[in-house]
Every structure is written in structure tokens, then in C-alpha cells.
Amino acid sequence: MRESYPGLGIEYELRPSRGYHLSISVYPNNHIVVRVPRRLPKSSLKEFLAERKTWVKEKHDWNERNNPKQAKFASGDILPIFHKNRKILWEVGEGTSLLPEQLILKSKRSLTSKSQIVRGKAALKELLQEKLEEIIPKYSKFVSKKIRAVRIRTMRSLWGTCSSEQCLTFNLSLIFCPDYVIEAVVAHEIAHITHANHSKAFWDLLASWSPGYEKADLWMKKNGPKLLCYLL
């Protein structure tokens, strides 16, 4: 449910929670979620929002000043594809071309703004899929179980997951990361096929595969939240 934050006029999402406590999250793209326990009196929610009002405003304004806006994929826009700024250009035709300084998107017909975003995300997914197909065999050869599926989708906070059925899912926003970071994320998720936790054995295995994973982890902690803004 969408609501307007009292006194700020900022939209937030009211989300029912199975927990016992109210909570609020302001994501890097300024998506605000208020989690509300069921049967909570409206007066308690009103008081909670009033108490958090200053913090929400400060967080919202900081995000506006420092974080990128959602990608529209308009001609001339700049996106950091594989951690290198490239200008979006549209041409008549079919396919996608990734050049050193440009991403050329092609369409046989004129597209609406919404259709440009859909087409642009599809192009990024194709490019990331190609990158993953290069990286995954480097590490899948070390595990006894076969990877059953590899999926790519937009995610609000996670960069990758590994299910108990050996299905890997990666965040489309990895497309904005340097190669060594993408590789570290892939190695991390494949290591979960052997160790489905973050035990010492897991970290030792990951370190043996990807000695630079700590550098990649630090880069992601510093830059990751901003990168998520482009596609959410």
C-alpha cells in the first residue's frame, strides 16, 4: 500500500509484518518501506512516523544529492557498464553493440519511454549473461553437483543467491561492476553449492578459488548501494 509521509509529502510503502516491532527502511534509490505489525493501532504508527520524520528527511535528501537516478535508457544517457561509462545511442535495426565508449541499442520502430527501459534492461541482461557464461565454468568444475540453472533479475539488496537445488540467481546490477567483482560474486555463490553457509570452511574454500575476494567485497560495500539505484 502506498502512502504519503506526514509532513514530508514523500511516498512510502506500508508493508504488513509478521514481527512485533515497527521498522522503516530508506533504500539508496529513496524507496521507503515501513513495516507494520498486524493489528497495530493507527495512533502508534502515526507516532512512529513523527519520531522518524527528521531522520527520513535527512536520508532522503542525502540520497537525492549523492545517488544516481533510475536509468531511462534515453539517447545520450551515460551508464557505467562493466565499470566504464558508456553513452547510450539508439539506431534503427536489431541487436545490441557494446563499444568502448558507447552502448548502441537498436529497434525497428520508435519506442515509448517505458519500452526503452524494457529494451535497455533486456540488452544489459544479454551482456551480463555472456559475462557469466565466461566466468561460471572456472569455478563450477570444482564442485561435485551440477548447476541446474542460472538466472538474472533485478534485486533490491542481494547480489547473488544459490538455492538448495543448485540454481544460481544474480543481480542484473552486476553489469555495472568491474570484472573482478563480478567474478568474486560468482565464485561466492558457487562455493555455496559445497557449503550452504558462511562457515570457516566456506571462507577458506572461497579464498582458495578467489584470493582477491576481500578486495572485491570492500569495493562492493563502498559502491554497491549506488549501483542498485540505476535499475530499481
Opening angle at CA 177, ends 173 and 181, nearest 5? 115
Q: Could you read off the pLDDT tens digit of each residue along the chain, which spans 232 residues?
A: 899 999 999 999 999 988 888 999 999 999 999 999 988 888 999 999 999 999 999 999 999 999 999 999 999 999 999 999 999 999 999 999 999 999 999 999 999 999 999 999 999 999 999 999 999 999 999 999 999 999 999 998 899 999 999 999 999 999 999 999 999 999 999 999 999 999 999 999 999 999 889 999 999 999 999 999 999 8
The owner of cell 520502430 is 109
Identify which of 1, 6, 7, 9 has the alpha carbon closest to the alpha carbon of residue 30.
9
Residue 34, C-alpha cell as written in the block: 515501513
- Amino acid 69 reads K
- Contact assessment for residue 164 and residue 149, using Cβ atoms and an 8 Å cutoff: no
Identify which of 118, 129, 123, 131 has the alpha carbon closest to the alpha carbon of residue 102.
123
Cα torsion 211, 212, 217, 222 to 10°: value is 160
Q: Which strand (E) or helix (H) includes residue 11? A: strand 11-17
Indicate the pTM of the whole model.
Answer: 0.86
Q: What is the pLDDT of residue 157?
A: 87
Distance, in Å, from the CA atom of 76 to the CA atom of 95, rounded to the nearest integer, reads: 18
3-state class percentages of the chain: helix first, strand second, coil last, to nearest 5: 45, 25, 30
The sign of the CA dihedral 84, 85, 88, 91 is negative
Q: In this structure, how many other beta carbons lie within 10 angstroms of the beta carbon of residue 41? A: 8
